[in-house]
């Protein structure tokens, strides 16, 4: 049986979505089926103290999770929340487009579900395109405005609207391209480094519970004593919002049915695209969301609390300019690297990354030019190592799992990370 911590893990919710989708034909029925399965599992969770996976956690962490469970069990409108979302979808498929957008806007406003702006703590991302030949840098940008007829229906964008889809890991990029393992050698990869003097307003549309629980566990392990209802701990008043946000995210994360891959309409994309319309009207520049193409059969971590940074996507909206082929205002916010392939990437010892990172931090302290360079180097190194060092990825040639840093995807990732730090040192500090 699952505990409250297991319940909020991506893999657990993915299983609930998959079984719900397999038992229904229409998406509105899938939402109803998922509601039933979600509520049943939630009402029958075992206490965290008995969970085989999480009973080894710090006692303070388990107490906090237990109290969280008790608090969420008092919510009385979980079922009606599902129904409100389903009604938004029903209005859309009945042609009442404006009503569906308005109703969803009211719903997310009432529950404060779209208030979390992503903080670019690492500030670099990746993009990839398959090609036997080497591509130029501009071929790793968004599809040009004069070729928008090539743009198909995507989860957070509709046909004809170019977006820049980026990933927080090379593994994520590879999974999103839907290629065979043997094709990896012919993928062109570029990194997108957000310049130190640039910012982006991006909606964080990812579940916050895993990060929250990991924070709690870190504080508990360091000797801190945090009670669930501690008014000094800001997340206490936020747990109900995070719970409903998790439901909405999950409903927006149903996989596209295999038999409909070539169809122009995808019912699973309606709600995500409505979210996109709402936030674009609120002048967001993009949305951060979790990939639906990576699960434990491809990569996993044995950590009791694992923040799934390796499967996060960033979709950046473009603004059309009839005089240009690309959104240069958006692109100019990034340092875009020259595309490379696996054959170009040699293995980088993480000690070299740490050495370069520390040089940048020390140089900025001695002669500050940008107040973001230190944090950029800090998070590019430490955050990447913490997030990915315990990630195990399935080998291309066998069913064995190896560390991400040893896997071809990880080797390209660390190589581009090193080059990003070189960019910071050479362009901003020299």
What Rg do the C-alpha atoms of the chain give, in angstroms? 22
- Sheet containing 202-204: order of strands: 202-204, 286-290, 312-317, 163-167, 124-130, 187-194, 334-336
**pLDDT score, position 373:** 57
Instruction: Identify the residue with better confidence: 2 or 117.
Output: 2
Q: Do the Cβ atoms of 148 and 162 come closer than 8 Å?
A: yes
- pLDDT tens for 194-219 read 887 788 889 999 988 888 888 888 88
Task: State the Cα–Cα distance between residues 3 and 392, nearest whole angstrom.
Answer: 24
- SS3 assignment, position 187: strand
How far apart CA 173 and CA 77 sit, in angstroms, is: 38
- Name the band, by pLDDT with cuts 50, 70 and 90, for residue 381: very low
CA distance 420 to 376: 10
Residue 123, phi-psi category: left (phi > 0), alpha (psi -120 to 50), beta (remainder): left
For the stretch 104-114, what's the b/e string if a residue is b when 16 or more beta carbons lie within 10 angstroms of its beta carbon? bbebbeebebb
| Burial class of residue 94, CB neighbours in 10 A (0-12, 13-18, 19+) | exposed
Q: How confident is the model at residue 423 (pLDDT cuts 50, 70, 90)?
A: confident
Nearest to 51 by CA among 65, 34, 72: 65
**Close Cβ partners of 60 (under 8 Å, ≥ 6 residues apart):** 216, 220, 224, 225, 226
- Per the listing, tokens 């390209």 go with 412
Model confidence pLDDT, tens digit, residues 295-326: 888 998 877 777 788 899 999 999 988 889 98
Note the pLDDT of residue 367. Answer: 64
Give strand pairing partners of 316. Answer: 164, 286
Q: What is the pTM of this model?
A: 0.91
- Work out the average pLDDT over 261-283: 87
- For residue 253, the SS3 value is coil
| pLDDT greater than 50 at residue 382 | no
Q: What percent of the chain has pLDDT over 90?
A: 55
pLDDT digits (tens, 9 = 90+) for 214-256: 888 888 888 877 788 776 666 667 899 999 999 999 999 999 8
Q: Output the six-digit token pair for 227.
A: 């009670």
Backbone angles phi, psi at 188, to 5 degrees: -90, 125
DSSP letter string, 294-317:
--TTTEEE--SS---GGGEEEEEE
When pLDDT is averaged across residues 11-27 and rounded to a whole number, the result is: 95
Query: Domain extents for the chain?
Result: 1-110+225-251, 124-202+317-429
What does the angle CA 421 – CA 427 – CA 430 come to, to the nearest 5 degrees? Answer: 100
- Residue 160 Cα to chain centre, angstroms: 24
Q: What is the pLDDT of residues 69-122, one digit of tens each?
A: 999 999 999 999 999 999 999 999 999 999 999 999 999 999 989 876 665 555
pLDDT at 159 over 80: no
Q: What per-residue confidence (pLDDT) applies to 203?
A: 92
CB atoms within 10 A of CB 97: 13
Q: Show the tokens assigned to 105.
A: 């806007």
- Which pLDDT belongs to residue 31? 98
* Residues in contact with 89: Cβ distance below 8 Å, sequence separation at least 6, in sequence order: 27, 28, 31, 100, 270, 271
Could you tell me if 114 and 287 are in contact, meaning their C-beta atoms sit under 8 angstroms apart?
Answer: no
User: pLDDT at residue 191 above 80?
Assistant: yes
As given in the structure block, the two tokens for residue 89 are: 């979808």
Dihedral (Cα; 385, 296, 10, 191), 10-degree rounding = 40
pLDDT at 65 > cutoff 60: yes
Q: Rounded to 5 degrees, what are φ and ψ at 300?
A: -160, 165
Question: What is the mean predicted confidence (pLDDT) over 264-274?
Answer: 91
pLDDT above 70 coverage of the chain, percent? 90
Which DSSP symbol is given to 191?
E
């Amino acid at each position: 049986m699952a505990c409250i911590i297991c319940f909020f893990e991506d893999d657990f919710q993915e299983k609930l979505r998959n079984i719900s989708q397999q038992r229904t034909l229409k998406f509105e029925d899938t939402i109803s089926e998922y509601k039933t399965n979600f509520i049943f599992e939630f009402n029958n969770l075992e206490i965290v103290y008995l969970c085989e996976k999480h009973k080894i956690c710090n006692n303070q962490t388990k107490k906090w999770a237990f109290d969280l469970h008790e608090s969420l069990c008092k919510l009385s409108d979980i079922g009606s929340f599902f129904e409100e979302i389903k009604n938004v979808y029903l209005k859309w498929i009945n042609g009442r487009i404006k009503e569906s957008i308005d109703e969803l806007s009211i719903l997310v406003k009432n529950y404060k579900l779209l208030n979390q702006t992503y903080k670019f703590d690492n500030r670099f991302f990746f993009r990839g395109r398959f090609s036997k030949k080497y591509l130029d840098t501009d071929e790793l940008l968004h599809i040009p405005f004069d070729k928008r007829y090539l743009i198909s229906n995507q989860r957070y964008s509709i046909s004809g609207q170019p977006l820049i889809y980026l990933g927080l890991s090379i593994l994520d990029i590879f999974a999103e391209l839907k290629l065979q393992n043997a094709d990896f050698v012919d993928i062109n990869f570029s990194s997108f480094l957000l310049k130190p003097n640039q910012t982006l307003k991006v909606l964080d549309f990812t579940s916050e519970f895993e990060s929250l629980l990991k924070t709690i566990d870190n504080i508990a392990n360091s000797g801190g004593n945090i009670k669930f209802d501690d008014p000094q701990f800001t997340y206490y008043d936020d747990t109900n919002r995070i719970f409903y946000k998790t439901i909405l995210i999950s409903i927006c994360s149903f996989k596209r049915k295999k038999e409909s891959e070539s169809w122009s309409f995808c019912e699973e994309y309606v709600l995500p695209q409505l979210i996109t319309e709402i936030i674009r009207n609120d002048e967001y520049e993009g949305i951060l969301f979790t990939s639906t193409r990576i699960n434990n059969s491809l990569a996993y971590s044995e950590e009791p609390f694992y923040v799934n940074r390796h499967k996060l996507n960033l979709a950046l909206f473009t603004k059309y300019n009839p005089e240009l082929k690309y959104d240069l205002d958006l692109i100019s916010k990034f340092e875009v690297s020259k595309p490379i392939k696996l054959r170009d990437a040699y293995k980088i010892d993480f000690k070299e990354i740490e050495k370069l990172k520390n040089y940048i931090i020390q140089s900025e302290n001695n002669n500050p030019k940008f107040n973001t360079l230190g944090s950029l180097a800090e998070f590019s190194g430490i955050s990447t190592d913490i997030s990915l060092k315990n990630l195990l990825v399935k080998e291309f040639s066998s069913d064995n799992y190896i560390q991400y840093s040893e896997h071809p995807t990880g080797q390209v990732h660390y190589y581009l990370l090193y080059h990003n730090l070189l960019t910071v040192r050479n362009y901003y500090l020299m």
